[in-house]
A and B are shown apart, each in its own frame.
Chain A
Amino acid sequence: MTGTPETPALPMPAPTPLGPAIEARDIVKRFGAVQALGNGRLTVGRGEIHALLGANGCGKSTLSKIIAGTHAATAGSLLIEGRPVRFATPREAEAAGIALFYQELSLIPPLSVAANIFLGREPRTRAGFIDRTRLRAETEALIALFGDTAGPGLTPDALVADLTPGQRQIVEILKVLSKSPRIVIMDEATAALDARQVAVFFDILRARRAAGVSTVFISHRLDEVFALCDRVTVMRNGETVADLCIADTDQDSVVRLMIGDVRKAGRRTRADRPAAAPLLQADRVGGGRLRDITLAVAPGEILGLGGLQGQGQSALLRGLFGADPLTAGRLRLDGQPVRIRAPADAVARGIAYVSGDRVADAVLAGRSIFENLAAAVLVRERRWRVGAGTLAPRLAGVAASLKTKYAGLDDAIGTLSGGNQQKVFIARWLATGPRLLLLDDPTKGIDLGAKADLFALIRQLADSGVAIILYSSEEAELLDQSDRILVFNGGAVVTELSGPTLDSFHLTRAAYGDAA
């Protein structure tokens, strides 16, 4: 690896002097009979970081994909730097200086980091072969932007398949930046990053802003939006409802614009804290990168798992469920030793697991809502016959308790929005009457209304005696819901927060490894 201290900063293309960076007027997009976008408007000035907000299914992703050339608009006009454009492919948008960060990752797992970042734009020798030296040097310069927050193993030659989710997201960001775009669309680009990485990322975006780059920033984290952005456009039900200056508004107003009415989860009363015998006890369990984790959770209790992203919280939940079996330590259920080697073992013992990664872990793609709802019940109740007659009303009832919106149980699961899909996958487990519910970042990428519904239900479940272990990448959620929080760092529990220490100050301090 040649040291390249002299590598110049990425070249910044000079802005042309016409009109705002993006001006989207009255954009309409239909997918078959479904109208995803009724009246999408967005104006982004030169050198502006512009937030695009809205509940899931409001059309913001569709609008950004139209700007980036992934979708073609059904109607409406799009002006880039004052010139009317109509992109047929992502490549045409790219040629116009636009780069989109994809919410669904665009990386190729079996290829190296360098090959992924420069895919389709590889530096070549004069003979037309890949210039490996230049490829590696340019990739190293990009990785250096994230400094030591990139973490070990993020090298130009590493395979993307071997990276952590956070590192993959960094690679995806670097891929966008490597195109030196004049307009960047960051759609949920921070979802898998930890706080330090987010801070570095924001610094990068601010430096780009200073150089005249315009950013469209899409995020479900309002504090990020308010920390970073200059203006905000709010969308609801496929229409643009507001375009505001961040300085002139506040979080509550924006939330009201997004969902119409604000539902704020009240804090759980600690007085009725259950004193029951523990349901599940883990004694020095380990496996993979998990080390010596000891915990207990009682019926009626919500145990939170905190810390930076990817410190072993998900690994523990998957381990307890048997998805990635634990190799060390002992588990007890109701005081009796148990071994859980596969999810089937866990299901048989009344344990349920809800993953935030819906597409990979939960969706039975192409199947009906009914089938997606019934999956766990059939296994749990060891049914060999599937009679829709009795099962359907029962499952519909569970789905209704979560305010799941759908047209008919026979419709394909793909017809639902992300938030409603997630409700289906939670209802799938509720129908089994679980005793222990493992929630692995269950609200990732779903809208605020759905979140409120979910947490109302989770609290109700805890009150009815279900033990719950909750991991959430959003600090506020964790603090709002948990009775206690175990803070993770490097695959181990560094501290436990409860009572007076259960606040964001202690949580943040412990997450960064400063726990006294």
Chain B
Amino acid sequence: MKRALPSALSALPAALPAWAITAAALTVLVIVNGLLQPGFFDGTVLQSNLTTFLPLVLVAIGQTYVVLAGDIDLSVGAVAALVNVVTVTVIAATGDGPDAILAGLAAGLAVALACGLVNGLLIGVVGLQPMVATFGTAILFSALALRILPQAGLPVPDAYWQTYGGAVLGLPTVLLILLLAIGFVALLARRPFQTWLKAVGGNRGGAFQSGLDLRRIRLSAYLISALFAGFAALCLTGETASGDPLLGQSLGLGSVSAVALGGTLLSGGVGGAAGSILGALLLGMIGNVIFFAGLPFEYQTLVQGLIVLAALAGGVLVARRR
């Protein structure tokens, strides 16, 4: 049995948590990368790496809450694509001043929440099977994205990507976003809501008998997941500076891998979003190391698959030692 993060820290470390191997692998990769890439620890290089990793980190955080409740959200990639094209289209339609950008961001996030609402209603209220249902809604969201912007293009104003690539309040924007996300994770972990999510994922019948409103809890998880997919889309928009209806296709399964690497049980009930951040960073670092090790790009998928399975297998074996 794995322990919840806070109680494991307050109690004696009797057993290594399931994400220990992920943390160890991440440390190794950071060291290897530091050796391979001169100036890896420079501020600008770290910032550019974080820029690359941030979207998956955000999506993985949102995915965690859905998975904790015993569900899954495979539509996050399509949500990100839809948010991206809505944002760039709204900005283009309302001029290119700061107001237009804010309108675009707001429209994008509103669309994200609408997507989450659709998922949450179909799964939490109508009762569709989560994996197949979110695959179905992903098809719908992608279709809408293609309707709104048939081809990649429609650049955003300079102010958008300059702010994203620059700094706010003296901190690099990407770092600020990461810190805000971590803050959200830490606050939510102390709310009853996260316990309820685990209850719904740990024993759905028991949670119902305990008087929890399963529909509202599962719906809320899908809203959070979609919202974070929306944040990720806004970050991707800042990185690519344009719209792309096919963007983010690897985010769905990638975020599930990150969540699993972070020690959250895919069957629900056990885990937390802090581990998922580590998992997402690990996945990102693998690509980095392959690049700087001079291996052809084609190796990336192969090595990523191997490392994910090795880290997860290691995590399972470590947790079982107890």
A180 cross-chain contacts in B, Cβ below 8 A:
none
Q: How far is the CB of B249 from chain A (nearest CB, A)?
A: 33
Question: Are the C-beta atoms of B269 and A102 separated by less than 8 Å?
Answer: no
Please pick, from B1, B11, B196, the residue contacting A161 in the complex, using a CB distance under 8 A.
Answer: B1
Q: Which residues of A contact B210 (CB under 8 A)?
A: 90, 106, 108, 119-120, 175
Q: Is the CB of B191 within 8 A of A128?
A: yes
Interface string of B227-258 (1 = CB under 8 A from A): 00000000000000000000000000000000
Question: Is A91 in contact with chain B by the CB < 8 A criterion?
Answer: yes
- Cross-chain contact B209 with A157 (CB below 8 angstroms): no
CB nearest neighbor in B for A105: B206
For B7, the chain A residues whose CB sits under 8 A away are 112, 157
Would A108 and B191 be within 8 Å (CB), given that A119-B199, A162-B1 are in contact?
no
CB 8 Å contact bits of B196-214 with A (1 = contact, 0 = none): 1011001101111111110
Whether, in the assembled complex, B195 has its beta carbon less than 8 Å from a beta carbon of chain A, the answer is yes
| Option from A102, A110, A162 in Cβ contact (under 8 Å) with B198 | A110
A94 within 8 A of B: yes
In the bound complex, residues from chain A placing their C-beta under 8 Å from that of B196 are 119-120
Say whether, besides A119-B196, A130-B191, A70 and B1 are in contact (CB < 8 Å).
no
Whether the pair B195, A129 counts as a contact (CB closer than 8 A) is no
- Which residue of the partner chain A has the closest CB to B268? A110
Q: Complex formed: what's the CA distance from A90 to B214 in Å?
A: 12
Given contacts A111-B198, A162-B1, is CB(A94)–CB(B191) below 8 Å? no
* Complex contact A129–B209 (CB within 8 A): no
A89, chain B: closest CB distance, angstroms: 7
In the complex, chain B residues 166-216 whose Cβ is within 8 Å of any chain A Cβ:
187, 190-192, 195-196, 198-199, 202-203, 205-213
Q: Which of A70, A89, A129 contacts B191 (CB 8 A)?
A: A129
Task: Give min CB distance, A123 to chain B, whole Å.
Answer: 9
How far apart are A169's CB and chain B's nearest CB, in angstroms?
Answer: 14
Whether A129 contacts B190 by the Cβ 8 Å rule is yes
Given contacts A157-B11, A161-B1, contact A110 B202 (CB under 8 A): yes
| Residue A115 interfacial (CB < 8 Å) | yes
Interface string of B1-22 (1 = CB under 8 A from A): 1111001000100000000000
Bound CA–CA A514/B191 (angstroms)? 50
Report B-chain residues with C-beta under 8 Å of the C-beta of A243.
Answer: none
Q: Is A159 on the interface with B (CB-CB < 8 A)? A: yes
A residues in contact with B202, CB < 8 Å: 108-111
- Contact between B269 and A89 (Cβ–Cβ < 8 Å)? no
Once the chains bind, are B270 and A106 in contact (CB under 8 Å)?
no
Residues in chain B near residue A218, CB distance under 8 A? none
Give the residue name and chain of the A residue nearest to B207 (CB).
A108
Instruction: Tell me whether B195 and A107 are in contact (CB under 8 A).
Output: no
Interface magnitude class on chain B: 20 to 34
**Cα–Cα, bound, A129→B269 (Å):** 20
Contact status A107-B208, CB under 8 Å: no
CB distance from A378 to the nearest CB of B (A): 29
A110 and B211 contact, CB distance less than 8 A: no
Which residues does chain B contribute within 8 Å of A89, judged by CB atoms?
211
Per-residue interface assignment for chain A, residues 119 to 146, with 1 indicating a CB less than 8 Å from any chain B CB and 0 otherwise: 1101010001110000000000000000
Let me know if A110 and B195 touch, CB within 8 A.
no
Output the least CB separation between A220 and chain B (Å). Answer: 21
A115–B195 CB distance below 8 A = yes
Residues in A whose Cβ lies below 8 Å from that of B11: 157
Residues of chain B within 8 A (CB-CB) of A261 are none
Which A residues touch B212, using CB under 8 A? 119-120
Q: Which residues on the B side are within 8 Å of A102 (C-beta)?
A: 209
Question: Which residue of chain B has its CB nearest to the CB of A70?
Answer: B209
Whether A122 lies near B209 (C-beta < 8 A) is no
Bound: A94/B206 CA distance, A:
15
Known: A102-B209, A110-B4, A157-B7. 13 other contacts (CB 8 A): A90-B211, A106-B210, A107-B203, A107-B206, A108-B202, A109-B269, A111-B202, A119-B210, A120-B210, A120-B211, A122-B192, A124-B192, A159-B3
Interface of A toward B, CB cutoff 8 Å: 70, 89-91, 94, 100, 102, 104-112, 115, 119-120, 122, 124, 128-130, 157, 159, 161-162, 175
18 pairs, A vs B, C-beta closer than 8 Å: A91-B213, A100-B209, A102-B209, A106-B206, A108-B198, A108-B203, A110-B2, A111-B4, A111-B198, A111-B199, A115-B199, A119-B195, A119-B196, A119-B199, A120-B192, A120-B212, A130-B192, A161-B1
- Residues in chain B within 8 A of chain A (CB atoms): 1-4, 7, 11, 187, 190-192, 195-196, 198-199, 202-203, 205-213, 265, 269-270
